[in-house]
Amino acid sequence: MEPVTGYPYHSLQEIRDAAARMGLELPICEDLSVLGNPVRGEGFTLPNALAVHPMEGCDGEPDGKPSALTLRRYERFARGGAGLLWVEAIAVHPSYRANSRQLMINEENLPAFREMLEKTRAAAMESCGHRPVIIAQLTHSGRWSRPQNVPAPIIGWHDAVLDAHQKLPDDYPPITDQELREAVQNLARGAALCREAGFDGVDLKACHLYLYSEMLGVVDRPGPYGGPFENRIRLMLETVDAAREKVGRDYILACRMNFHDNTAGRWGNDENGQPDFTEPLQLMGELVARGERLFNITMGTPYYNPHVNRPYATGGYVPPEPPLAGVARLQSGVRAAQAAYPQVVCVGTGYSYLRGFSPYIAAGAVKEGWAKVAGFGRQSFANPNFANDILRHGGLDSKTTCLACGKCTMLMRAGSVTGCPVRDQEIYLPLYRQYIMKK
Ligand SMILES: Cc1cc2nc3c(=O)[nH]c(=O)nc-3n(C[C@H](O)[C@H](O)[C@H](O)COP(=O)(O)O)c2cc1C
């Protein structure tokens, strides 16, 4: 397949034709009403089948409390009508932060999170008359830790590709077993705090090669947390068990999970680096057995292979495949997850690249049972009202859609707070001018 740059599609038919030409399976449904149906999970109901994905705004206060800008984002998401708001990565310890403005939950910050949730729920009720389910994503940033905005990697084990990418020396010390056990306790405590703050549930994040995701693939690590499958999933299972102990049986524990790392010899890959979902599905089985009922399936890492993680029209490099192949790969992951565990709710990822055509692939995924919910990431920055537009106004106006242009990521990488400089110009265009254009 030839790499593609720019955005080549002007009609849904062109997407259909391109997918057929490339031999890609994409679910397509022109009737969007299926996205408006409530989604029932065990112990929770989403008012519709649309979700806002976790999207870091890097706009927390230095101490990790939500700022006025954070509140603005979540109020806008809530007003926008999505039935599931999956709140961005929240650290549970200062050293786990991916940037100096990442949200952080602790005793002191609890009232601020409580206030954010109250305002978010009130906005959803006022605008849509519904109560979205709100999930907190708890993170240990692992390799990508940058608490002071300079890299401070905490690695699971050495990985030739990622170490070279990060220029880490051979003797760089990996996280110890004792530090992993501390992470278990810190994440479990974080889950209890999230419950106290009023979140409906907690995602113990295991994606994008942050620590919990990296640990799933540490085949060379000796000791209880590395090597064979049962060791590599130990950290995850111990954390789920410890969190469950603190939050009780009825609370939602969820997981945003990588189904395919797309780096050599790692999680969810076969020996040629192609997707092999055997182990992710097995881990999912263990989590389902522990009462997890909500999953969000994703792939890759934004730091090494962003074209896998979020197919784009323009970015840091020309992707080695048409972005449509990346969209289809992401769909294949959630399809496998949802088919294997039909009793749980799986959220699909990777629709934003499709711009105004994204609702038809989202509706196709839900209609065909590939996912029960379609989640939107960059699109929610560009147009937080996307769910209302799809459900009440028949679709997305091309003037409001995400262009998958990478500007939100550029802002983030430049150390700014982030959002969409193209569609949310009042706040983010001046920042884009300041941080990116001046350079
Ligand atoms: C600026 C930015 C921030 C993100 N923050 C998070 C995050 O906190 N947690 C997470 O799991 N994914 C995060 N993602 C990934 C998105 O949730 C999503 O998986 C990705 O953008 C692909 O979906 P999309 O095509 O709808 O954008 C982020 C992506 C971007 C561009």
DSSP string, 327-384: HHHHHHHHHHHHHH-TTSEEEE---GGGGGGHHHHHHHHHHTTS-SEEEESHHHHH-T
**Is a pLDDT exceeding 80 seen at residue 402?**
yes
Q: How far apart are CA 378 and CA 428, in angstroms?
A: 14
| Ligand 1 within 6 A of CB of 355 | no
What is the arithmetic mean of pLDDT over 243-259? 97
Q: What is the pLDDT of residue 273?
A: 87
Q: What is the pTM of this model?
A: 0.98
Q: Which domain holds residue 383?
A: 12-399
pLDDT of residue 271: 87
Tell me phi and psi for residue 332, to 5 degrees: -65, -30
Q: 7 in a domain, yes or no?
A: no
Q: Is 1 part of any domain?
A: no
**What is the whole-number distance in angstroms between the Cα of residue 351 and the centre of ligand 1?**
11
Residue 112 domain-assigned (yes or no):
yes
Residue 48, pLDDT score: 98
Q: 228 and 285 share a domain?
A: yes
Residue 6 within a domain: no
pLDDT of 434 > 80? The answer is yes
Q: Where do we find the tokens 């979140």?
A: 199
Q: At what angle do helices 323-340 and 12-22 cross, to 10 degrees?
A: 80
Whether the per-residue pLDDT at 414 is higher than 60: the answer is yes
Q: Is the CB of 88 under 6 A from ligand 1?
A: yes
Do 300 and 412 lie in a common domain? no
pLDDT given for residue 4 in this prediction:
59
Lowest mean pLDDT of 261-275, 293-307, 326-340, name the range.
Answer: 261-275
The ligand 1 atom at the shortest distance from the C-alpha of residue 207 is 11
> Do residues 297 and 425 share a domain?
no
Note the pLDDT tens digit of each residue in 122-143. 999 999 999 999 999 999 999 9
What is the C-alpha to C-alpha distance for residues 395 and 306, in angstroms, rounded to an integer? 27
Q: Is the pLDDT assigned to residue 265 strictly greater than 80?
A: no
Q: How many CB atoms lie within 10 A of CB 342?
A: 9
Per the CB < 8 A criterion, the answer to whether 380 and 77 are in contact is yes
- Residue written as tokens 């262009």? 403
Q: Is residue 376 part of a domain?
A: yes
256 lines ligand 1 (CB under 6 A): yes
Mutate to test the pocket of ligand 1, among 56, 59, 139, 420 (most ligand atoms within 8 A of CB): 56
Supply 367's token pair: 């209609």
* Helix 177-197 and helix 110-128, axial crossing angle in degrees, nearest 10: 50
CA of 238 to the centre of ligand 1 (A): 26
pLDDT for res 319: 93
Write the pLDDT tens digit of every residue in 169-178: 999 999 999 9
User: CA-CA distance, 269 to 276, in Å (whole number)?
Assistant: 5
Same domain for 389 and 321: yes
pLDDT digits (tens, 9 = 90+) for 35-82: 999 999 999 999 999 999 999 999 999 999 999 999 999 999 999 999
Q: Is the CB of 416 under 6 A from ligand 1?
A: no
pLDDT at residue 359 tops 70: yes
Query: Where is pLDDT greater, at 188 or 3?
Result: 188
376 CB near ligand 1 (under 6 Å): yes
Q: For residue 266, what pLDDT is reported?
A: 84
54 lines ligand 1 (CB under 6 A): yes
Residue 264's CATH number: 3.20.20.70
The preferred substitution site among 55, 205, 410 for testing ligand 1, maximizing ligand atoms within 8 Å of CB, is 55
CB 67 near ligand 1, within 6 Å: no
The token pair at 117 is 């949730």
Q: Which atom number of ligand 1 is nearest to the Cα of residue 310?
A: 22
Nearest atom of ligand 1 to the alpha carbon of 376: 26
Per-chain mean pLDDT for the chain: 96
* 150 closest CA partner among 98, 216, 219, 80: 98
Q: Is 272 within a domain? A: yes
Same-domain status, 228 and 352: yes
Based on the domain organization, do 388 and 411 belong to the same domain?
no
Range list of β-strands (E), 181-283: 201-204, 252-258
Is residue 420 included in any domain, yes or no?
yes
Domains of the chain: total = 2
In the chain, % of residues over pLDDT 70? 98
Please give the pLDDT value at position 377.
Answer: 98
For residues 223-229, give the mean pLDDT.
98
For residue 55, how far is its CA from the centre of ligand 1 (angstroms)? 5
Q: Which residue has the tokens 């055509």?
A: 357
CB 89, CB 98: distance < 8 Å? yes
Q: Is the pLDDT of residue 2 over 60?
A: no
Is residue 310 domain-shared with residue 419, that is, in the same domain? no
Residues 12, 360 contacting (CB under 8 angstroms): yes
**Does the CB atom of residue 364 touch ligand 1 within 6 A?**
no
Nearest CA to ligand 1 atom 21: 377
The whole-number pLDDT of residue 350 equals: 97
